[in-house]
Chains A and B, each alone.
Chain A
Amino acid sequence: MFELVLFSLLNGLVFGMLLFMLSSGLTLIFGMMGVLNFAHAGFYMLGAYFAYTLTGYLGFWPALVAAPLLVGVLGALVERYGLRRVHRFGHVAELIFTFGAAVVIEEVVQLAWGRPAKSYEVPEFLDFPLFRLFQGSFPAYKAFMLLISVAIFVFLFAVLTRTRAGLIIQASLTHPSMVAMLGHNVPRVFMVVFGIGSALAGLAGVIAGPVLGTFPGMAQVLGSIVFVVVVIGGLGSVSGAFVASLLIGIVQTFAVALNISLNSVLAAAGIPLDAQGPLHDLWKVTIAQVAPIMPYLLLVLILIVRPTGLFGTRSR
């Protein structure tokens, strides 16, 4: 039992920090533009694919730096020539634009790299078990993922709160016109933040590609969950995104490990259920099976009860 709890906790932490790398950019972008970016997970996928190709030419470390930069530039271009143009048609048009961009990114990835999954592997020097405990072992690559994401978290936190650029970004989130009055180029700030957010998503893709798989559906697998994280944490709140990322990451890994259904619980309590009844489907569902649904259930519940999320201050 201790083994299960420990490993689930560690895996949940790794997954949660990965989610945070995606959700921090997304929530910053939302805070600025009031738009949930559907294409965000697309940038995550592009990061993984760029890294896959670049690793072949440059090796792992240069790809780790170059792929997120490329994705960041691409994100900035999308903001400059796409989103900014649509901005005057209102929020719904912007949301629809990012939705279209997500579709196009997925199709372009299929066009350029083909439909089958790519064998983007864990680099050899990180491909060993870090420690063994009972029957389980913890791979070094996951520790590496954790390290990178914690470093990014610390870096992001320091930049946002301790530097002048971070102060301008924070001010642009809440008082864009005042910041513009003070002589800052707010549209450029938006573009840079969008680029950085995309680059973070790209970095998440680079380090998650070998573990979660590099295939054209990878954006969809994570995309909706990142949305859930951002909404639960409170739209626009980075600290909320952090808490919600860890929450969702850990809840999901624990749920996958639990193979308990309502039926088995009631059977253990001495109340056997009719296995052929019309609600038979509901009773036999295990917690592990419900795991993929839980984030969405949480999303809907949070939006009904508290649309501002856990840490958010506004609902738009």
Chain B
Amino acid sequence: MSRRYGVWIAAAAILAVLPHIVRTPVAVPVMSQMGIAVVFALSYNMLLGQGGMLSFGHAVYFGLGGFIAAHVLNLAGEGVFWLPVPFLPLVGGLGGLCFGALFGSFSTTRAGTVFAMISLGIGELMASSALILDKFFGGEEGITTNRVKAPTLLGLDFTTDRKVYYLIAFWAFVAAALMYAFSRTPVGRMANAVRDNPERAEFVGYSQRWVRFVSFCVAGLFAGVAGGLFALNYEILTAENMGLAASGSVLLMTFIGGIGSFFGPILGAIVFTFLQSMLSDYTGIWLLYLGLLFLATVLFVPAGLAGILMLHVPAWRAGRPGRLVGPYVVAGLLTLVAAVGVIGLLEMVHFVVSAPASRTTKRLFWVAVNVRTLWSWLAFAALAAAGALGFRWAAPRAAAAFAEASRPAEAR
């Protein structure tokens, strides 16, 4: 029993002390963003990973929950009714649940491509409607709100980033725990069964449509909670928050993290948000890097980051993770060399296209590079080629070491 709860207690402890350990000024807002992304990605994985439903419109429930929460917060601020700020994510969740039930009632009749297409249609429908119905969605400017005006509970106000972080961390923890609990309930288990073999699930006596509908509603609920947290954190919502790009990015982060396990989306959301906030400071083509990372994940490791970690459980159990360090470091360093080469080339292309023609040097990897000479292009191309060739040499060795290390202990 203690091991089952140990992970959750450790996670709660980490969430509590994290703002005191990482002390850079941008850290707290980024961590708040991660918390929101974790809830959103986990709710998305209820559809894709646990229910086998590929949705291209999940941001609709995030956005609608957020808009409803923002309006309610405004009304609460005007004193129309009494609602303390900490309960706002519940309002967003309720909104997400209602619209999830509405759209889910007809879109969950089928799985597969039909479901994916309906979700895309609803996503586009709501995103374009948001620009037309400007009283509710605020048109291009969106809806702004203010979390300080609303009534407080027990004297809790949310005037600083850190206070908001703790609120988000609390709700993210509760939401993650509830979603985990849901995956353990009979209906959560049936969602897996319907994903793998709908016909057989029907023979057991469950309506596949009903099982999908329940998963869909619960996913909408938690997406709405994430939307409510977003409204609280940023105090603004626009039509962009429910567009195809937003739905796409939640698919990206969930898939990069790994859809096969519960903690995959958490990992993906953290990595994605980190890359997003860090890379966008350094380069204008960060979305290209994320897209390439995504394509590489789909092509080479469809199980995602969490899948890679899970692969190493046997080696860990057999007590031989140490043997992997050497080959992995070699392969990793060579990958890094190739990545530096490719990134250098891409950045130089970006510089040539976008920067004014009078500028000739760009700082790349802490070195000033003259973009207008052939030598710098050749140097980065050589790095890329050397890294790629070296990796082809190192990869079989790493794979052999992996196979050797994960052999069961008894078989020796």
Chain A residues with CB below 8 A from B292, complex form: 104
Contact of B288 among A82, A108, A224, A227 (CB under 8 A): A108
**A285 surroundings in chain B (CB, below 8 A):** 132-133
Q: Is A18 an interface residue (CB 8 A)?
A: no
Most buried by A among B128, B287, B292: B128
**What residues of chain A lie closer than 8 Å to B122, measured between beta carbons?**
296, 300
B54-A95 in contact (CB<8A): yes
Residues in B whose Cβ lies below 8 Å from that of A235: 113
- Which B residues are in CB contact (< 8 Å) with A36? 113, 116-117
Assuming the contacts A95-B54, A100-B291, asked whether A299 and B299 have C-beta atoms less than 8 A apart, the reply is no
- 0 or 1 for each of A218-229: is its CB under 8 Å from B? (1 = yes): 001000100110
A104 to B125, CA, bound (A): 24
Residue contact B288 to A111, C-beta cutoff 8 Å? yes
Instruction: Kindly identify which residue among B56, B117, B132 contacts A303, using a CB–CB cutoff of 8 Å.
Output: B117
Contact B287 A107 (CB under 8 A): yes
Q: Looking at A93, A280, A281, A296, which has the most chain B CB atoms within 10 Å of its CB?
A: A296
Whether B353 contacts A92 by the Cβ 8 Å rule is no
Contact with A along B114-152 (1 / 0, CB 8 A): 101110111011001100111110000000000000000
> Could you say which of B118, B135, B302, B353 contacts A93, with CB atoms under 8 Å apart?
B302
Please tell me which one of the listed residues A96, A228, A282 contacts residue B298 in the complex, with CB atoms under 8 A apart: A96
Give the complex CA separation of A315 and B117 in angstroms: 12
Within 8 A of B (CB), among A92-109: 92-93, 95-97, 99-101, 103-104, 107-108
Contact B124 A95 (CB under 8 A): no
**Contacting pair B125 A101 (CB below 8 A):** no
Contact B133 A282 (CB under 8 A): yes
A224–B244 Cα distance when bound, in Å, is 10
User: Which B residues are CB-close (under 8 A) to A128?
Assistant: none
| Chain A: interface residue total (CB-CB under 8 A) | 48
Interface status of A164 (Cβ within 8 A of chain B): no
Contact between chains at A101 and B112 (CB < 8 Å): no
B198 within 8 A of A: no
Kindly state the separation between the CA atoms of A304 and B102 in the bound complex, as whole angstroms: 14
In the complex, which of the residues A103, A111, A114 contacts B294, with contact meaning CB atoms closer than 8 Å? A103
Which candidate, A50-58, A146-154, A287-295, is the interface stretch facing chain B? Answer: A287-295
Option from A114, A293, A304 in Cβ contact (under 8 Å) with B354: A114
- Which A residues touch B48, using CB under 8 A? 92
Is B104 an interface residue, CB under 8 A from the partner?
no
Say yes or no: B244 contacts A220, CB within 8 Å: yes
Closest CB in chain B relative to A298 CB, distance in Å: 9
- B209, chain A: closest CB distance, angstroms: 13
Asked whether, in the complex, the Cβ of A114 is within 8 Å of the Cβ of B353, the reply is: yes
Instruction: Answer whether residue B187 sits at the interface, using C-beta atoms and an 8 A cutoff.
Output: no
Q: Is A89 in the interface zone, CB < 8 Å from B?
A: yes
Nearest Cβ in chain B — how far from A43, in angstroms? 16
Check: B275 CB closer than 8 A to any chain A CB. Answer: no
Decide yes or no whether B262 CB sits under 8 A from chain A: no
- A278, closest chain B residue (CB): B135
Q: Is the CB of A307 within 8 A of B110?
A: yes
> In the docked arrangement, what's the CA distance between A300 and B116, Å?
11
Q: Which of the listed residues A280, A292, A303 has the most CB atoms from chain B within 10 Å of its own CB?
A: A303
Instruction: State the majority secondary structure of interface residues on A.
Output: helix
Contact among B54, B121, B132 for A296, CB-based, below 8 A: B121
Q: Which residues of A contact B291 (CB under 8 A)?
A: 100, 103-104, 107
0/1 per residue, B90-104, Cβ < 8 Å to A? 000000000000000
B346 at the interface (CB under 8 A from A): yes
Min C-beta distance of A106 to chain B, whole Å? 8
**A95 and B116 form a contact (CB under 8 A):** yes
Interface string of A194-221 (1 = CB under 8 A from B): 0000000000000000000000000010
Give min CB distance, B245 to chain A, whole Å: 9
Nearest A residue to B245 via CB reads A220
Question: For residue A95, which residues in chain B have a CB less than 8 angstroms away from its CB?
Answer: 54, 113, 116
Q: Among residues 147 to 173 in chain B, which have CB atoms less than 8 Å away from a CB atom of chain A?
A: none
CB distance from B38 to the nearest CB of A (A): 21
- Contact present for A224 and B120 (CB under 8 Å): yes
- B47-61 residues with Cβ-Cβ distance < 8 A to A are 48, 52, 54, 56
A280→B349 CA distance, assembly (Å):
50
Could you tell me the distance between the alpha carbons of A300 and B128 in the complex, rounded to whole angstroms? 14
- Which residue of chain A lies nearest to B137 when distances are taken between CB atoms in the complex? A281
The verdict on A132 contacting chain B, using a C-beta distance below 8 Å, is no
* Cβ–Cβ < 8 Å partners of B391 in chain A: none
A296 and B287 within 8 A (CB)? no
Q: Is the CB of B117 within 8 A of A281?
A: no
Closest chain B residue, CB of each to CB of A228: B121
Cβ-defined partner of A293 (8 Å) among B128, B287, B299: B128
A69 within 8 A of B: no
**Which residue of B125, B252, B353 contacts A297 across the interface (Cβ within 8 Å)?**
B125
B121 touches A110 (CB 8 A): no
Interface string of A59-103 (1 = CB under 8 A from B): 000000000000000000000001001100101110111011101
Q: How far is B404's CA from A122's CA once the two chains are assembled, in angstroms?
A: 64
By the criterion CB–CB under 8 Å, are A91 and B113 in contact?
yes
Q: Is A300's CB under 8 angstroms from B299's CB?
A: no
**Assuming A99-B248, A113-B353, is B133 touching A316 (CB within 8 A)?**
no
A-B contact pairs, 21 of them (CB 8 A): A95-B54, A97-B295, A97-B298, A97-B299, A104-B291, A111-B350, A112-B349, A114-B354, A220-B244, A231-B117, A280-B135, A281-B133, A282-B133, A285-B133, A292-B128, A293-B125, A297-B125, A299-B120, A303-B114, A303-B117, A316-B114
Q: Could you list 6 further interchain pairs (A-B, Cβ under 8 angstroms) beyond the known A97-B299, A100-B294, A299-B121?
A: A36-B113, A93-B302, A100-B252, A293-B132, A296-B121, A300-B106
Query: Nearest 9 pairs between A and B by C-beta?
Result: A107-B288, A299-B121, A103-B291, A104-B291, A296-B125, A300-B121, A281-B135, A100-B295, A296-B124
B contact set with A: CB distance below 8 Å: 48, 52, 54, 56, 106, 109-110, 112-114, 116-118, 120-122, 124-125, 128-129, 132-136, 244, 248, 251-252, 255, 285, 287-288, 291-292, 294-295, 298-299, 302, 346, 349-350, 353-354
Show the binding face of A for B, using Cβ within 8 Å. Answer: 34, 36, 82, 85-86, 89, 91-93, 95-97, 99-101, 103-104, 107-108, 110-115, 220, 224, 227-228, 231, 235, 280-282, 285, 289-290, 292-293, 296-297, 299-300, 303-304, 307, 315-316
